[in-house]
Chain A
Amino acid sequence: DAGVIQSPRHEVTEMGQEVTLRCKPISGHNSLFWYRQTMMRGLELLIYFNNNVPIDDSGMPEDRFSAKMPNASFSTLKIQPSEPRDSAVYFCASSSSWDEQFFGPGTRLTVL
């Protein structure tokens, strides 16, 4: 298995633009997690899905952020409109119940 796949690896955009981050979890895993990592706030859980259903989105900063998981092999995190304070590394992770989370390589987002 190739592990958790995220795209793009790097994204530079201008304030106000829409940004879409993509994640392909490990086949067979039923939980998917989106995290944001910054120097100031550390590693924050934004949202997680179980069996494609959003379970807890209390970490989503505001309405500009949305996440979807249309099927077991794909998820997106969208920011619209983006702001400079959204600049961070965004990680996707997947797991099967009662097991470790496997992290993707992350997407480094820079909003100018």
Chain B
Amino acid sequence: AQTVTQSQPEMSVQEAETVTLSCTYDTSENNYYLFWYKQPPSRQMILVIRQEAYKQQNATENRFSVNFQKAAKSFSLKISDSQLGDTAMYFCAFTHHNNAGNMLTFGGGTRLMVKP
């Protein structure tokens, strides 16, 4: 069974600074996807960034980037130039494809507060 662990229940950062959210996972699969989802106070789950396990290059989406360490099974999210709108819950998630769909396993989430 796969597990996803987010060891930081809450974090805060000053506006315009950089913050890194941690995520580790456990799996015996070799081919899989990793995701970071954002859930603002509106409750909507929004995909922030994805990483394919077979790709060595770390994914980047504007101010969001990941540090994917496959051997260490680590998948951290870095938010640069933090903005007030980044305040949200952030969930790390893992999936691998089986014959019957791509079930996601979520971590427990990290609540990020961006302070003005």
Give residues in A with beta carbon < 8 Å to B: 30-31, 33, 42-43, 45, 48-50, 55-56, 89, 91, 93, 95, 97-103, 105-106, 108
Contact = CB atoms under 8 A, between A and B. Distances in A.
Contacts of B72: none
Interface of B: 33, 35, 37, 43-47, 50, 91, 97, 100-104, 106, 108-109
Contacts of A43: 91, 106, 109
Contacts of B108: 42
Q: Helix, strand, loop or mixed for chain A's interface?
A: strand
Given A45-B104, A56-B103, A97 B43 contact: no
Given A42-B108, A43-B109, A100-B35, A93 B45 contact: yes
B104 A33 contact: yes
Given A100-B47, A105-B43, A50 B106 contact: no
